């Protein structure tokens, strides 16, 4: 996917969310559990930065994950 295509998708995907999201926003965006959200971030499927005791996730990383062909299926244990 080209940068121009990704830029266009950025303008239309998850428009209700800020450019940097937290775990709660990630849960809402992907409609997954808190455990699954932490698993995706912790296992590196969605790159994030830990600031103090909270993860900060660039929205573009969530979009890249959604568009990727190799997706993780974290367990809901």
Tens-digit pLDDT profile for residues 27-52: 999 999 999 999 999 999 999 999 99
Look up the pTM and report it: 0.82
Task: For residue 13, give every residue at least 6 positions away whose Cβ sits within 8 Å of its Cβ, in sequence order, or none.
Answer: 63, 66
Q: What is the pLDDT of residue 67?
A: 87
Can you tell me which residue has the tokens 């559990």? 33
CA distance 50 to 28: 19
Percent of the chain with pLDDT over 90: 70
Residue-averaged pLDDT of the chain: 89
């Amino acid at each position: 996917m080209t940068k121009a295509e990704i830029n266009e998708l950025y303008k239309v995907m998850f428009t209700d969310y800020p450019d940097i999201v937290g775990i709660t926003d990630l849960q809402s965006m992907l409609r997954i559990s808190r455990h699954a959200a932490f698993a995706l971030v912790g296992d590196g499927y969605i790159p994030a930065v830990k600031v103090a005791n909270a993860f900060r996730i660039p929205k573009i990383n969530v979009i890249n994950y959604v568009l990727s062909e190799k997706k993780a299926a974290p367990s809901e244990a």
